[in-house]
Structure 1
Amino acid sequence: MPVDAAVRAQEAARDLGLRRLNPGQEAAAVLVLSSSDRVVNVQGGAGRGKSAALAPIVAIAKAEGRTVIGVAVASRTAAQLGRDTGADTSTIARFLARHTRVIDGTARPAQVARVKAELAGAVIIVEEASQVGTRDMERIVRLSNIVDAARLVQTGDIRQLGAIDAGKPFEASQQAGHATAHVTENLRSRSGQMKAITAALDRKDTGSVFALLKSDTVEVPGTHVTSTVAARWAALPREERDATLLLTGGRAMRTEANLAVQAELKATGEIAGTGTPFTVLDRVNATREGARQMRAYQPGHIVEVRTDLPAQGLVRGDRGVVTGIEGDRVRLTMAAGGDKLLRPARLAKNLDRDAVSIYASKQVELHRGDRIRWTDNDPDRGLDNGVMARVEEVGRGRLVVSSRDDGIVREIHSGDRMAERLDLAYAINVHVAQGVTTEHGIVALRSSERKLLTERSFLVALTRVADRVALVLDEGRKVERGIARNAGDKTSALDVAGRGQAPGAIRLPEARSPLDRALDHYAHLFLAAERMREEGGRLSPAETRDLAAAAAAIDRVRPHAAEDLRIVLDRSPDPARGLEQAAPGALRQVWAEEGRARTDPRTYADRFVADWRAASDDRGKAETWRSEDRAERRLERLEDRMMRQPALEKALDARMPEQQLRMEGPGMGGSGRDRDQGMEL
């Protein structure tokens, strides 16, 4: 009963020395303890006390003899969840790798029985669930069903940064109406200013946030942003520095700020003028799909093979430097000697781990007293990606550091793989910061980093801070407008359906059918042809034949199939990204919906008008000739449809008898702008 669950949760919280659960926390505990659903959601913004709500649940489950396992994308996040709740923890990658055969149905009966004995009736908690992609979440759900877990709890905040991998299942689960508890009381913010800022962020009121921060905002020329941030931080008393985090939008500004802080500390004599140089690896590819793209490989990049690739003559542990690009192949000069060729497009799509990792090398100089962070995991030594440490000693082929989390001192010798998996950490970028808490913060923003100025990243940056935050930026109004105009929402597979279409129910990934592959093949060829036209190129005869053959292949499924797919792709603001992030089967779903719309003249006509308006608006708002050219080609394809389909023109006339659609375009006796005016209803 819910009343019993509430009483048990409050008693467990008291026994743990926690304060009384607030209504939102209690509701979350009751949902997890008493729901009849296996999968439940706990939604709450940063600093709302989600972990405090989970701690009594963990205690109750353990008292009942249940296994409780917490998983997260980042090992640092998983470890923090364990400290906060008492759950055993793992990264999602390690958790899924351990149970791969059970999930895939290839495990022996004895292994299945062993895993069921371990996890039957278990409580599995997915922390920062907004960062988990569809494929990984589906595999966690599948395992939970196989072992008959008592509960799978997804907890996080859909307003924060989303998954790097395809999909946004946590958000989709909530939209589909799955059981969700909302934890809303702000427990992190201590100062009146931060409470007001967080409330404004909850309302998505960017203007009020900047107004509240006006007295703590410094505006400087763009080239001075990072040096100003560094000087402000270095001027703080040492104990206050330790409680103050520097936050940047992107990696480039992060590097600039770290070097600027070192320069300030050298100037005051706090660190030596000359340090010990280290060559470290800076990750280039963020996704597995990114490693399949040729553009990820540049001369000088370092490629590490993370799994055996027998078809390409590579094994796990191989490492090489990119020394050439030869068509669809990358030439690697191997550390062990000799050259090998890698074909990125042939890397498997369905691996649950990276096939290869791509890095750029860079130089950092370390001194005694520097703040660093690890950029990879070493589970054997308890070194977690993102965890910070202080350099205690450096030189003579050794590096001695103390963890800022637990104070443990560790020694890294020359040749140790972790000696090149580190970076300076006076400043961190927002993507690294999600899940971090700090007393004070200084946020550096630059108006030129337009893609990084989003509501989501701004929210993550500010909600790291409990007490006091300052902004350093170049052009305040531009920065504010950039954030207000860019929500930073991720394009999911269903978003490819375009404007105005209601989202369907959340679907789990399924095996790729021949039709899925045919649609995907044509979509990629079509978009490649569009990119070539944007760059002023022309398709070769062979490429033209391939495109026509791919269109004919899906046209054999039903009439106008290729055209319907082009319509779907034209609706997407970023079709290439949408394809990259689409879950298996999603493209087929929206393509099939377009085919159904074609059978209803009224619906088809309404969609045509909406598509024309959208393309016309995009052309009018275009800021580059490339985007204007793309909008023009969309309009030309719409015009061509009108000319080839008398039934469509008839339906349009029937829908709008008082406003005949005038098609006055190139070759039709009028200008393109006249044509637009005729279509503006």
Structure 2
Amino acid sequence: MTVDRAHVLATPGMDAHGSYVALSRHRDGMDLHYGHDDFANRDRLVGAMSRDRAKDMASDYEPARDYAARRGITFRERVERVVEIVRQVPEKARGIFDGLRLPAEGGQMPERKVEEDPEAALRRARGRALVRHARAVDAIFAAQDQGGRAGPDQIRELQEARQRFEEVRPYGSHDAEAAYKKSPELAAEAASGDARRAIRALQLETELRTDPRLRADRFVERWQNLHRASDERYAAGDYAGHRAARAEMGNMAHSLERDPQMESLLAGRKRELGISFDSGMGVGRDLTLTFGLGRGRGLGL
């Protein structure tokens, strides 16, 4: 039988006779396969497939040999042809048991390692990045509470934590810091491992950042609340609370200098913010002049 393409698997039991038959059954192409479990190298393969073993075949009888010789067919030519084909096989071959894992001594197959769900892995990476970033922010807040400034190591850690957070959650550090500036206690909670409230605040800051009109609404609402809290604390004799509220108002006013989109949205809401005049220098500057504000608490960077 002749086929268009043949695949031959060499085994130790083959000899020149069988090899010649197997290697000559194709019209277009033939692939020879062997394993290192049976043949240590290509020379062993050539030796096995070209050996002449005593076998009662028609070609072993003189009449048949004469018939083949008259037609130019000799056994030696067969052997040489087999050797030529076999030597074309690449030296590197895969053993038939390569990659097979045998049971351990106890008879149990090695435990298969299950690939981790990418989404679950990303969630864990984000959680770790959030906690690390919160610890860096909280350390700087603690230094400021003691009347000092962030040290070089603290600044470097914050920068690295920001970078790691951004890798797994774009704008993660930006939105988290916006939440921490409004509620510093969230940084301390997240730094201790309880990040539930910090995550909710971060999600809200993301919504505010991506929806300009919602951001404007929240700005006006927070400004009004801080202004009211400042007056109430002053009236109650809580001067520290009064100063803290005004410091945060100062931060909000100065933030508009870096946010022209927000300033544009607030231009028509000056009355709600308590601004009674127009200096021509922008909403942020008008707020600073109207309420006599300076800069409040920040990360000092």
Same fold (TM over 0.5): no
When you count helix as a share of all residues, which structure comes out higher? 2
Q: Which has the larger radius of gyration?
A: 2
When you count strand as a share of all residues, which structure comes out higher? 1
Provide TM-score, normalisation by structure 2. Answer: 0.43
